[in-house]
């Protein structure tokens, strides 16, 4: 006997205990899902064996009648789920069952509040899988043997979920995994064939492997059992015709493949016939996975070839900006021995990806017809979808049509206005789609740059996500309408101004020439230009950037990313009728004039929601001026 076969007791990773406690509380009202989770794992294990057999047929051990068996024992008070899938080695068991290997675990535990009710809601997002057994079981035994290993390499794992588990080597002639639940007191109602069958049909009908249960004689007296019968339909869900699939089937299948406890938000199921034949069944989750912003997070689409599972997370099948999509693509044309390398530059894959992308975008367009559901989607995945403007030029206009914005018309932080809606509301003579970008919603909404637009009743999109600094660079026009940032270049609303206004503007410009020259001199290198504004009605001054200069917000992002970029000089625009500007004009002492000029510059910067380079200098100048008023 080697050390390896000795029985040993190991401690769970700290999080496992915490997770189990939380789960037992939160899942109790829906406790029968333990069976769904165990069957889901069994089905995954069979999928993985099928795939491994493509390169090593001997792993089948002359037993390729793949099945999942569910049995129960009233006397021992146990329920057993057994599969003849790939099984686990001793180290697999430690890694997969003793630790939570999922990415995002840390984030999950950090997001816990300690309030059991709130935390219970979070657990579904995490997907608890195997551990849900402990909701109904006080002790769980798992006996497994990895395909291709000798019978003596069986492993027996056991735990009461209280912080540790035991592990020992056992003989297991048959390949695969058996999970035995020793039920808690009071759970005997689960020891019933009808009950178990109905749970399986409800949650696991879509599983493509036959799930077998013993036939029970109707005669209650002698309970004789005469062999096994199949409980589920056992055909790959996506191969069935749509009419033959219920809403529930679709939802349960989603939970199985996405390892999610929530229903999906929407889905698309489509058989493609043309140069290549393939079927896709793709879902939008309701909630974001914890690791959505993790750069190397895995993608959620599984690749099958002629019903055989090939790989998880086939990132070649979805563009990065749709990385939240979950589901299955099953190809009839790819070779079964396809590898990740082959997928890189494969024409079939590229066609499938391009069509799948279009399908997803049109599914989202459909979803948008339901404003409330679409808000759920947008809040969760909108920022990811926006990445598509840069990533997917071919579908840019469609992606743009799916974007939603806060605007000056809705006066709400909620992003709910589409570009199409904006265009419908455009004023007579308005040619462009106007937007403003700021670091946060409040700064965008209260920006003085909006004054003239508010006065004229022109709607402006209020952008305040980090990624929005790229917006105007990627999307320069939509449906023939140019997009224009109101913080750059000159505003030309001349088509919408009346003659009197234009006259007035000209007059102001010529009258202010002297003042403008003095300001230029005082501010020197600080500004690119000083000019009379046509955008302000109530503020004294504002700062904008020249038409082709880099947006300062975007510059900050580049800097934060470690790139060296020259600082953009801004243009100071003044409102010559404002009392402060009039007062400034009358200031004859040059030092005080210069102080005023800098204060004006700095406060314009502040009203953009930005930080001053030298706040102390600003405060000192201001205090000086206030003292001498």
Binding stretches for ligand ADP (CB under 6 A) = 37, 41-42, 45, 83, 85-88, 96-97, 127, 129-130, 177, 259
Q: Which of residues 572-611 bind Mg ion (CB under 5 A)?
A: none
Round to whole Å and give the CA distance between 141 and 144: 10
Could you give the 3-state DSSP secondary structure of residue 40?
helix
Minimum distance from residue 100 beta carbon to ligand ADP (Å): 8
Q: Which does 154 bind (CB under 5 to 8 A by kind): Mg ion, ligand ADP, none?
A: none
Residue of minimal Cβ distance to ligand ADP = 129
Q: How many residues bind Mg ion (CB under 5 A)?
A: 3
Q: Count CB neighbours of 393 within 10 A.
A: 11
The phi and psi torsions of 396 (rounded to 5 degrees) equal -60, -45
Minimum distance from residue 85 beta carbon to ligand ADP (Å): 5
Q: Count CB neighbours of 394 within 10 A.
A: 10
Q: Which residues contact 147 (CB under 8 A, 6 or more apart)?
A: 49, 52, 59, 60, 61, 85, 86, 87, 175, 176
Question: Interface with Mg ion by CB under 5 A: which range of 36-44, 415-423, 477-485, 552-560?
Answer: 36-44
Q: Where are the alpha helices (DSSP H) in 368-512?
A: 371-386, 388-391, 396-402, 419-425, 441-445, 451-456, 471-474, 499-511
Asked if 279 is part of the footprint of Mg ion (rule: CB under 5 A), the reply reads no
Which residue, 287 or 404, is less far from ligand ADP as judged by CB? 287
Q: Which does 83 bind (CB under 5 to 8 A by kind): ligand ADP, Mg ion, none?
A: ligand ADP
Which residue, 40 or 575, is less far from Mg ion as judged by CB? 40
Helix 33-53 and helix 193-204: axis angle, to 10°? 60
* Partners of 405 in beta bridges: 417
Asked if 43 is part of the footprint of Mg ion (rule: CB under 5 A), the reply reads no
* Partners of 301 in beta bridges: 327
Residue of minimal Cβ distance to Mg ion = 129
Measuring CA to CA, which residue among 193, 203, 198 is closest to residue 37? 203
Question: Interface with Mg ion by CB under 5 A: which range of 32-40, 227-235, 411-419, 440-448?
Answer: 32-40
Which residue, 102 or 432, is less far from ligand ADP as judged by CB? 102
Asked if 129 is part of the footprint of Mg ion (rule: CB under 5 A), the reply reads yes
Minimum distance from residue 43 beta carbon to ligand ADP (Å): 9
Minimum distance from residue 161 beta carbon to ligand ADP (Å): 13
Which two tokens mark 469?
A: 């600094």
Which residue, 104 or 609, is less far from ligand ADP as judged by CB? 104
Q: Which residues contact 237 (CB under 8 A, 6 or more apart)?
A: 206, 208, 245, 249, 250, 253, 281
Round to whole Å and give the CA distance between 602 and 206: 64
* Among 23, 32, 39, 41, interactor with Mg ion by CB under 5 A: 41
Which residue, 205 or 468, is less far from Mg ion as judged by CB? 205
Which residue, 124 or 489, is less far from ligand ADP as judged by CB? 124
Chain residues in the site for Mg ion (CB under 5 A): 40-41, 129
């Amino acid at each position: 006997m080697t050390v390896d076969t000795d029985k040993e007791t190991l401690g769970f990773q700290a999080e496992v205990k915490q997770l189990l406690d939380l789960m037992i509380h939160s899942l109790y009202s829906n406790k029968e899902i333990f069976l769904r989770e165990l069957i889901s794992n069994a089905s995954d294990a069979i999928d993985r064996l099928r795939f491994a057999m493509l390169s090593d047929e001997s792993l089948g051990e002359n037993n390729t009648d793949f099945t999942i068996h569910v049995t129960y024992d009233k006397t021992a008070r146990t329920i057993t789920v057994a599969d003849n899938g790939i099984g686990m080695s001793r180290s697999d068991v430690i890694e997969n069952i003793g630790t939570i290997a999922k990415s995002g675990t840390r984030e999950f535990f950090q997001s816990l509040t300690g309030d059991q009710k709130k935390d219970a809601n979070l657990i579904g997002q995490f997907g608890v899988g195997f551990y849900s057994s402990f909701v109904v079981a006080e002790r769980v035994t798992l006996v497994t043997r990895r395909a291709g290993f000798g019978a003596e390499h069986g492993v027996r794992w056991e735990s009461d979920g209280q912080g540790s588990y035991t592990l020992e080597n056992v003989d297991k002639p048959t390949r695969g995994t058996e999970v035995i639940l020793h039920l808690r007191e009071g759970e005997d109602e689960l020891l019933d064939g009808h009950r178990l069958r109905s749970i399986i049909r409800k949650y696991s009908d879509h599983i493509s492997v036959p799930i077998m249960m013993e036939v029970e004689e109707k005669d209650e007296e002698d309970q004789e059992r005469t062999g096994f019968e199949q409980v589920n339909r056992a055909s790959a869900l996506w191969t069935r015709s749509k009419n033959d699939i219920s809403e529930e089937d679709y939802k349960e299948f989603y939970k199985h493949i996405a390892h999610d406890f929530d229903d999906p938000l929407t889905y698309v199921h489509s058989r493609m016939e043309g140069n290549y034949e393939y079927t896709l069944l793709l879902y939008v989750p309701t909630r974001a996975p914890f690791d959505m912003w993790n750069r190397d997070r895995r993608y959620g689409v599984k690749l099958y070839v002629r019903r055989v599972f090939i790989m998880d997370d086939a990132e070649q099948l979805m563009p990065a900006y749709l990385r939240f999509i979950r589901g299955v693509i099953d190809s009839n044309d790819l070779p079964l021995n396809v590898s990740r390398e082959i997928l890189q530059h494969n024409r079939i894959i590229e066609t499938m990806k391009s069509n799948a992308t279009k399908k997803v975008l049109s599914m989202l367009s459909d979803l948008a017809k339901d404003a409330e559901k679409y808000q759920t989607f947008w809040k969760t995945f909108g920022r990811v979808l926006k990445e598509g403007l840069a990533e997917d030029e071919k579908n840019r206009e469609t992606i743009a049509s799916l974007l939603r914005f806060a605007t000056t018309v809705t006066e709400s932080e909620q992003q709910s206005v589409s570009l199409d809606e904006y265009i419908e509301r455009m004023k007579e003579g308005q040619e462009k789609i106007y937007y403003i970008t700021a670091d946060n919603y409040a700064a965008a909404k209260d920006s003085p740059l909006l004054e003239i637009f508010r006065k004229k009743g022109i709607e402006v999109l209020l952008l305040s996500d980090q990624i929005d600094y790229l917006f105007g660079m990627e999307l320069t026009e939509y449906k023939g309408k140019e997009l224009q940032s109101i913080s750059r270049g000159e505003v030309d609303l001349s088509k919408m101004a009346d003659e009197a206004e234009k006259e007035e503007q000209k007059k102001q410009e010529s009258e202010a020439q002297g003042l403008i020259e003095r300001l230029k001199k005082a501010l020197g290198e600080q500004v690119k230009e000083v000019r009379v504004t046509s955008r302000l009605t109530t503020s004294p001054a504002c700062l904008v950037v020249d038409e082709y200069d880099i947006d300062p917000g975007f510059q900050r992002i580049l800097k934060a990313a470690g790139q060296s970029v020259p600082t953009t000089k801004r243009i100071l625009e003044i409102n010559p009728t404002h009392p402060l500007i009039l007062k400034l004009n009358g200031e004859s002492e040059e030092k005080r004039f210069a102080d005023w000029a800098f204060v004006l510059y700095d406060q314009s910067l502040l009203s953009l929601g930005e930080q001053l380079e030298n706040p102390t200098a600003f405060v000192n100048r201001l205090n000086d001026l206030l003292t001498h008023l």
